[in-house]
Amino acid sequence: MKVRILVFLKPSVLDPQGQTVRNALLTLGYKSVKDVRQGKAFEIELENVDRLEAEKIIPEIADKVLANPIIEKFTWEIIEA
């Protein structure tokens, strides 16, 4: 099973890297760009687990290691069964 976890800074936390990318896009003439948030993506391959177990493990991993809950939030999805 393969899962993808996305980690972003919380909306309340300023993301200067996203802002810089946004400004670059505006400079290039993409006037419709309103906001950019930069984050991290993780793909994790699991073996010998079912969906139920993955639902237990992944949030644990994300909370403990992949994201810092003080400043970041995460979402995840199964991308390969």
Partner 1 sequence: MKFGVVVFPGSNCDYDTFHALQNVMGQETVFLWHKDHDLQRVDGVVLPGGFSYGDYLRSGAIARFSPIMAEVKKFAEAGGLVLGICNGFQILLEAGLLPGAMLRNKNLKFLCQHVHIRVENQKTAFTNAARKGQVLRIPIAHFDGNYYADPELLAELEKNKQIVFRYCNEKGQVTEGANVNGSVSNIAGIINREGNVLGLMPHPERASEKILGSEDGRVIFQSMINYLEKKAGRGKKKATKVVKPKVTPLPPLIGTF
**In the bound complex, what is the minimum distance in angstroms from residue 49's beta carbon to partner 1?**
22
| Residues touching partner 1, count (CB under 8 A) | 12
- DSSP H/E element including 39: strand 39-45
Only one of the segments 10-18, 22-30, 50-58, 73-81 lies at the binding site for partner 1 (rule: CB under 8 A); that segment is: 10-18
Residues 30-69 that bind partner 1 (CB under 8 A): 65-66, 68
Q: Which residues pair with 28 in a beta bridge?
A: none
Considering only 11, 14, 34, 50, the residue that binds partner 1 (CB under 8 A) is 14
**What letter does residue 18 receive in the DSSP assignment?**
H
12 binds partner 1 (CB under 8 A): yes
Specify the residue for token string 């419709």: 32
64 within 8 A of 21, measured Cβ to Cβ: no
Q: How far apart are the first and last CA of the chain?
A: 5
Q: Which amino acid does the sequence have at 77?
A: E
Residues that bind partner 1 (CB under 8 A): 9, 12-14, 16-17, 20, 65-66, 68, 70-71
